[in-house]
Amino acid sequence: MTLPEGFASQVVRWQRSHGRSGLPWQATRDPYRVWLSEIMLQQTQVSVVLGYYDRFLQRYPDVSALAAAPLDDVLALWSGLGYYSRARNLHRCAQDVMARHGGAFPAASAQLQQLPGIGRSTAAAIAAFCFGERAAILDGNVKRVLARTLAFGDDLASPAAERALWQRATELLPEAADDMPAYTQGLMDLGATVCLVRQPSCLLCPVQTLCAARREDRPEAYPVRTRKLKRSSQSLWLLRAQADDGSVWLEKRPVPGVWAGLYCLPLFDSREALEAAVPAADRAALLDEAAFLHVLTHKDLHLHPVRAQFAADGWSRAEGGWFAPAQWPSLGLPTPVRRLLGA
């Protein structure tokens, strides 16, 4: 496969004139800030990340502050951003940086990759932005841009094909370390704003004359991926036990599992199981609220909230406790629970 000549320089030039700029994490080479933004941006749009990024930096201005924080506080601040394993790894990573690297992120992608929650592409992005390392990124968006530019027809579900694309991505890197931040950002910007999954804006694309998929007039044929994500679905019943003073009963979810480590209404696999957790005398007063769908990456959750009213201290379970409304904002709550409670 011949590589398109001038690809890197086109991407760099376009990023400097047309790419996204002015984002708060672009104004820094501080690995802590760049790392934080990269983790938040995984599977989450820039517009959503902005507010979270600011709040995190206000609360945890450096890696030592984050490492010293209780995990519950970190999860609470992450609440609503989803994919909570990212927040748990963020916390573990900060603690590793303090314990194993003296509080300074390592300056090479090979070492960054050893830290919790930092994969090869994220390590390369941090190293390129902060240290100008010539390391290739290959997240989902970039795979699409490169697979199309190269008309890379091998099935990316196969590890060998993925390795081959990493190899091409490395060969396409610019020569100059100074160009690495703009090139890396440029690929991300192209994937996010121009080379979209459906109906890519090829007429606006800086590499249109180099792009083999465009020449074939079938950009959407790439990347090839046969193995689809297997989705499952599950029904869960949530007991919204409320005390006279407005407190609700919340329990910390076990790790691993759905919403691991977050505070949640008690969850049950069936309405019968939920009823069994309530005194017989109170079951007739259980009130079914409207069921709704909550979509996770691999799973559709059909959630059935059921409300129960108790006198203060009139009910309890082995795990968990009563939490007053004033406490809810400071807890890590799954998004649907937060919405249910109006927290």
- Residues marked active site are found at 38
Q: Which stretch binds ligand SF4 (CB under 6 A): 41-49, 119-127, 193-201, 288-296?
A: 193-201
Q: Which stretch binds ligand SF4 (CB under 6 A): 86-94, 145-153, 155-163, 334-342?
A: 145-153
Give the residue from 127, 63, 69, 129 showing the smallest Cα distance to 93: 63
Judged by beta carbon, residue 94 or residue 213, the one nearer ligand SF4 is: 213
- Contact call for residue 130 and ligand SF4 (CB under 6 A): no
Judged by beta carbon, residue 124 or residue 195, the one nearer ligand SF4 is: 195
Identified binder of ligand SF4 from the candidate list 172, 173, 195, 265, rule CB under 6 A? 195
Distance CA 23, CA 233 (A): 37
Identified binder of ligand SF4 from the candidate list 26, 158, 193, 208, rule CB under 6 A? 208
Q: Which stretch binds ligand SF4 (CB under 6 A): 77-85, 94-102, 211-219, 255-263?
A: 211-219
Identified binder of ligand SF4 from the candidate list 213, 241, 243, 340, rule CB under 6 A? 213
Judged by beta carbon, residue 211 or residue 239, the one nearer ligand SF4 is: 211
- Contact call for residue 211 and ligand SF4 (CB under 6 A): yes
- Contact call for residue 57 and ligand SF4 (CB under 6 A): no
Q: Which stretch binds ligand SF4 (CB under 6 A): 85-93, 212-220, 276-284, 285-293?
A: 212-220
Phi/psi for 222 (5° steps) reads: -120, 150
Judged by beta carbon, residue 88 or residue 148, the one nearer ligand SF4 is: 148
- Contact call for residue 194 and ligand SF4 (CB under 6 A): yes
- Contact call for residue 248 and ligand SF4 (CB under 6 A): no
- Contact call for residue 11 and ligand SF4 (CB under 6 A): no
Identified binder of ligand SF4 from the candidate list 12, 145, 165, 301, rule CB under 6 A? 145
Judged by beta carbon, residue 55 or residue 218, the one nearer ligand SF4 is: 218
| Chain residues that interact with ligand SF4, rule: CB under 6 A | 145, 148-149, 194-195, 200, 202, 205, 207-208, 211, 213-214, 219
